[in-house]
Amino acid sequence: MMLLSSISMLARELAKIGPKRNMAILQMDKIADTEEYVECSFGRDADIGVLRLNKARGTLLVLSECPLDKNGGWSQRASMRLARLWKEGVYPEKTEWAS
């Protein structure tokens, strides 16, 4: 009963805060997949950048920056997401990163 009470209290507090404002959700789509590399677009809607991951080495290269990315943070986050997928050995057709 105590755990349920704590969860209920947490839910009420979260409801007061409401949805997180200014959350950046990066859409990522696989656009190429070869034995050597995988390329993914990232960004929102038509404003996209492109990353290439070398499958053997795990190195990442930004082929083009996303126009909405003013300080390189989106490229960095998309790279982190792609690196995590590389560690798992999976490259889905679509994924996303929320920050």
78: left (phi over 0), alpha (psi -120 to 50) or beta: alpha
Residue 42 inside a domain? The answer is yes
As a whole number of angstroms, the distance between CA 80 and CA 91 comes to 13
The structure's pTM equals 0.72
Residue 44 lies in a domain: yes
Rounded Cα gap, residues 79 and 52, in angstroms: 9
Domains in the chain, number:
1
In a domain? residue 18: no
Question: What is the tens place of the pLDDT at every residue in 34-76?
Answer: 999 999 999 888 889 999 999 999 999 999 998 988 888 888 8
57 in a domain, yes or no? yes
Residue 11 lies in a domain: no
In a domain, 74, yes or no: yes
Residue 62 lies in a domain: yes
| Domain interval for residue 46 | 23-98
